[in-house]
Structure 1
Amino acid sequence: MAHSPIRTARRSLLRAALALAAAFALPPALAQDNPPVRLIVGYAAGGPVDQGARLVAVALSRELGGPVLVENKPGANATLAGSEVVRARPDGLTLFFAASPTITISPNVMARMPFDPARDLAPVAPVLSYYNVLVANNDEPFRTTRELVAYAKANPGRLSYGSAGVGGSNHLGMLLFAKRSGIALNHIPYKGNAPAMTDLIGGQIDLMMDIISTAGTYIAAGKVRPIAVTSPQRNATLPEVPTLAESGIAGLEGFDVGGWYGIYGPKDLPAAKVESLNRAITAALAQPALAKRLKELGYDEWTGAPQKLAERAAKERALWSTVTQGIVVD
């Protein structure tokens, strides 16, 4: 029985995380030295955020001298997971592995945001950053950003794009691209990137932006056609794919829209605990096996002090506030 390319890719990502976990397995004695740390993820197992969390968790466990357990608590734009951390004891044993949309987009679009990330969470450490790639169904007549924009202007209302849901980063990234290039695109929201990718491959939609680490699988297999990456420079994983800024289209100069993962704790987490966790996370990300794997998946290194995470979050929250006017997610 044939498996869908989406399911096969998910299994490959999960196998990679498990393989790295085995490589970093703690000796039994070491694993008992410290109590387990819960790393809460707001998305289901097998997706890109869960993948990133599991890769980081196994490396971090070695730095902390005890297990780091990933717990999936999907729902409500990952705010269910964030709320659990907000309510947790500030002892450093419950942490939030957050994707940027929960911190920077959800406060702008959710009708009932259950917490204020800037007020109710303590930034602990940046983890990594990523960019999306704009991909098209293979049967579309355009191959470049310039050709896409020309086609969209000649056929207003013809092209549709999928996203992981209203207010998600790939929804707003496409919205910003369309706004700056002066075209009209129809948005088709899905419950996740995977079903959107399935329909893109099948021709039910024409375009979508997806994280390079997951879209690269389908590009390599010839399932979809890459148009451009959303980073200011070309990505080492897809070196032949130009940036949107390279198109030379007015409005796309300096286009730089990506995302990131960061680790947060409860707001009253003591400064000394934040500092020690930050050191451990930074050291974990420097471990050669993890650094190599993250690079292979198309992620960019992004480490530093908690303030670095806080400043980027504030900057991007302000950016998305200018794009999300009129968008409300119940």
Structure 2
Amino acid sequence: MPLSRRTLLGAIAAAPAVAPSLAAAQADYPSRPIRMLIGFPPGGGVDIVGRLLAPKLQERLGQPVLVENRAGANGNIAMEAAVKAPADGYTLFYGNVGNLGVTNALYHSLPFDTLRDFVPIAQTMESSLVIAVADGLPVRSLAELIAYAKANPGKLDAGSAGAGGPSHLALELFKRQTGTEIVHVPYRGSAPAVQDLAGGRIQLLLDGYSLMRGAVESGRARVLAVAAAARQPILPAVPTTAEAGLPGFEAGSWHALVAPAATPVPALRRLEAAVEWALRETDLPQAFAQQGVAARFRNADETRSFIAAERERWGRVVREAGIRVE
């Protein structure tokens, strides 16, 4: 039915009020709780750090920041949910290098692209992985582990937080660099992998120390080396991979907070400022350090460039190793 003259004039008269209303809504951001989606189960590395970050953001923003775990498909379920949510600043995604730097190289039929469909808010941390073994494995050093793996091809089971994640890619690099044949056992997150390492159901895990700390301190697992250029303050007695006889092998992770691509700029700027405040002006870095990770703030532009570089780096590793997940 054609618009009447009265209806048309009414719409025109109302139009100027719409823009100020939208602008006011953005200026008042946030005016209600914010969801922060995480693609792994409770107790994993991303979850632990995300739950340390959330209350600091809540303190700065004045609204609840609610962590919501949507585990599965190496974080892709949570990422797709975030992409499909309204781009209004009230749904965010908190992920790691596997989610934001590797996913599109592994999965070729995803309904989203991490650079096209998300906009970075900030990087929050970085960490090095450690090489840990179950207590029942008869090795006490990295050299002994490599020798054992070579003498028992296909008999070592190594867990990961999920196919294509940081722990899986680190394992593939380890296998290639050492010439060993080790069975990959993917889990839905780090927490169940650590549980099985502690229980002796897998023998090897390359992941963040914060996740394994309980198992290590209880004597059910032990760390052989840190996959970094320097020893870590939380593990001063543990050698680096270079010191342990495997120079050039380094592997780590990082986390970043992102939002759906069309999120209003004022909301993004407010969120970025809140993350920077949390990492520079509170005790959050100390809380991170207690988990064996380091606070690392990159602003939105720096994070976007960093993610693009990481996608190129890890995409090359995925191609060279022939890793494919669908």
TM-score (norm 1): 0.82
- Please tell me the residue identity of whatever aligns with 2:261: K
RMSD of Structure 2 on Structure 1 (CA):
2.1
- Please tell me the residue identity of whatever aligns with 2:244: S
The whole-number CA distance in structure 2 between the counterparts of 1:88 and 1:203 is 41
Kept in 1, the 8 Å contact 2:45–2:210? The answer is: yes
Kept in 1, the 8 Å contact 2:41–2:191? The answer is: no
Deviations 1:56-107 (A, max 9, x none): 1111111112221222222222222222222333332221112221112221
The residue number in structure 2 matching 1:282 is 276
Deviations 1:189-220 (A, max 9, x none): 23333333333233332211122111122111
- Aligned-residue offset at 1:229: 1.4
The whole-number CA distance in structure 1 between the counterparts of 2:30 and 2:134 is 52
Kept in 1, the 8 Å contact 2:73–2:188? The answer is: no
Number of aligned residue pairs: give it: 296
| Alignment map for 1:1-330 (pairs within 5 Å) | 34-249=31-246, 252-253=247-248, 255-325=249-319, 326-330=322-326
- Please tell me the residue identity of whatever aligns with 2:79: G
The whole-number CA distance in structure 2 between the counterparts of 1:323 and 1:312 is 17
Of 32-41 and 75-84, deviating more is: 32-41
Residues 1:256 and 1:270: Cα distance change in structure 2 (over 3 Å): farther
- Aligned-residue offset at 1:124: 0.6
- Please tell me the residue identity of whatever aligns with 1:122: V
Deviations 1:94-139 (A, max 9, x none): 2111222111222111242220001110011111122221111223
- Please tell me the residue identity of whatever aligns with 1:138: D
The whole-number CA distance in structure 2 between the counterparts of 1:107 and 1:222 is 38
Deviations 1:167-192 (A, max 9, x none): 22211111101212222222222333
Kept in 1, the 8 Å contact 2:161–2:167? The answer is: yes
Structure index of larger Rg = 2
Kept in 1, the 8 Å contact 2:87–2:263? The answer is: yes
The whole-number CA distance in structure 2 between the counterparts of 1:310 and 1:201 is 37
Kept in 2, the 8 Å contact 1:59–1:285? The answer is: no
Kept in 2, the 8 Å contact 1:133–1:215? The answer is: no
Deviations 1:11-44 (A, max 9, x none): xxxxxxxxxxxxxxxxxxxxx9832222122222
Kept in 1, the 8 Å contact 2:119–2:258? The answer is: yes
Other structure's SS at 1:125 match: strand
Gaps of 5+ in 2: 1-28
Kept in 2, the 8 Å contact 1:130–1:212? The answer is: no
Identity %, equivalent residues:
37
Residues 1:111 and 1:304: Cα distance change in structure 2 (over 3 Å): closer
- Please tell me the residue identity of whatever aligns with 2:306: R
Residues 1:192 and 1:97: Cα distance change in structure 2 (over 3 Å): closer
Residues 1:120 and 1:33: Cα distance change in structure 2 (over 3 Å): closer
